Amino acid sequence: MTADSRACRTGSERYAYVIVGGGTAGCVVAARLVEARAGRVLLLEAGGGYRSFLDVPLAGMKFGRRYSWPWVTEPQQGLGGRRIALPLGRVLGGGSSINAMIYCRGGASSYERWRAEGLDGWGFEDLLPFYRRLERREGGASALHGGDGPVAVSRPRHVAAFSESFLEGCLQAGLAANVDFNGEVQEGAGLFDVTQDAGRRVSAAAAYLGYHRSNPALTIRHETLVTRLIVEGGRAVGVEYVKGGRVSRAFAEAEVILSGGAVGSPHLLLLSGIGPAGDLERASIEVLVDLPGVGRNLHDHPRVPVLFKSDRVSPGARRHWIPATLTYLARRQGVLASNCCEAGAFLRSDSALDAPDLQIVTHFQSALAAGAVDIEICFHRPASRGRLSLRSADPQAAPLIDPAYLSHPADILPLVRGIEAVRRIASTPALRAFPLRGELLPGRHVRAPQDVERYLRSHVDTCYHPVGTCRMGTGSESVVDSQLRVRGLEALRVVDASVIPTIVNGNTAAPTYLIAEKGADLILGRTLT
């Protein structure tokens, strides 16, 4: 913070709760606190307000990077020194406003691993009521699904020819059909559920805040960068923030809640003097709480593409835009309603595993228009762990982000087997007839284990699912306890994907909604049974 900005201080404000981060989790928590009449709530978002054109699924994905942080990782030693772009949402609604809308909880075993780590109340049976509360599933409620929650969950309104051929090829390759990846069984091939309502994106901003925008108990500030927490006597009492070049303070009578995600939340803790003492001292930041786990345990789902040549033109190609637009405006259907990742499969890289650890996702938007189809492999049980740390004490400086992709040798073989699985599917009659006309990447000549590993290290990137940097747990490396309270301080919680101790076998949007729903109940001191 500069001397000039300090000179622009304005008066302070008082609320019951101050929430830092208006992404998926922040929107949920703000709405639930307002509904409970828990007092005045301030929601601070670094990005802008939600834009209506993001409701159009394909448009939101195409232009989403305009509404994201320009994060880039440190050079990844396991990826030949490459830096990986990590554009996370910087807009009200966060990732839910710009992501691919896949709604996938991850199998029950993911949450049982959390409970096995000593996190009582975080097993699948404990969490299922929260999932049912948040879901408004097409087709109505059931024992495993909710029917009247705020988040619309539906089947895709557009299914591309490539998606259909892929699913037929999966069956021919021996995979089972699966009509519900969020059902009792995750394994198999099928269409992904999406967070859409009648062909429109449903973001957390729309789902949770739509009914509360005019409520005097809720104040939302956009384009607002929180620079540090205010701590007095071991208690978080407020935040300092910059908006329009002016520095202000907001105080919380009850609690301060961090919902900045796996990058934003640990970054703010470190800037505020809460984290590993050595790291803070090197950045010339006074140590308020020596909390070694802040920024540690960073991990993500690595992904790798397998590309095949095809002479079919993408339904999202430019020459189709006019008829596609007319179809969408008339019926909210067609390719503009697509999330581009319509079909996929979950499978095990080793038959001895208790649950799938690989996800295969079709992707037609970018590659197919250039004469290729893209089938991506995501690995869901990475052993690699990285860290987030400070670049400097300047709040506007990007943090150092090092996910350490493929730093652990155990992450290689599952991805190799994922490539083998995609090749088997691609060789089926259904995909030969699509037609696929040869493998572009890695290429048919890339077969030897050392050559495939070389390909992985040169092409693996991110699924945009970073988690774990404010780990929930019971050990010395944990940052928050099972109540999401930051260790060593009072009146401070973290409620977002950064608390995930071990990443789930699925996309992380649904678990983020879940954590926020449960987090709101923990803040309010109530129990959902």
- In this structure, what are the phi and psi dihedrals at residue 309, rounded to the nearest 5 degrees? -75, 140
Q: Assess contact for 98 and 89: CB atoms under 8 A.
A: yes
CA–CA separation, 292 and 484 (whole Å): 17
Q: Judge if the upstream peptide bond of residue 305 is cis by omega within 30 degrees of 0.
A: no
Residue with the two structure tokens 């991110």: 462
What secondary structure does DSSP assign to 374-413, as a single string?
Answer: EEEEEES-----BEEE-S-S-TTSPPEEE--TT-SGGGHH
Strands (E) in 24-73, as ranges, are 41-44
- In this structure, what are the phi and psi dihedrals at residue 110, rounded to the nearest 5 degrees? -60, -45
Q: Give the tokens for residue 33.
A: 């606190």
Residues annotated as catalytic (active site), given as ranges: 465
Computed on alpha carbons and rounded to an integer, the radius of gyration of the chain in Å comes to: 23
What are the CA-CA distances from residue 45 to residues 20, 205, 391, 467, 493 (Å)? 7, 12, 22, 20, 17
328: Cβ contacts below 8 Å, ≥ 6 apart: 56, 199, 334, 336, 337
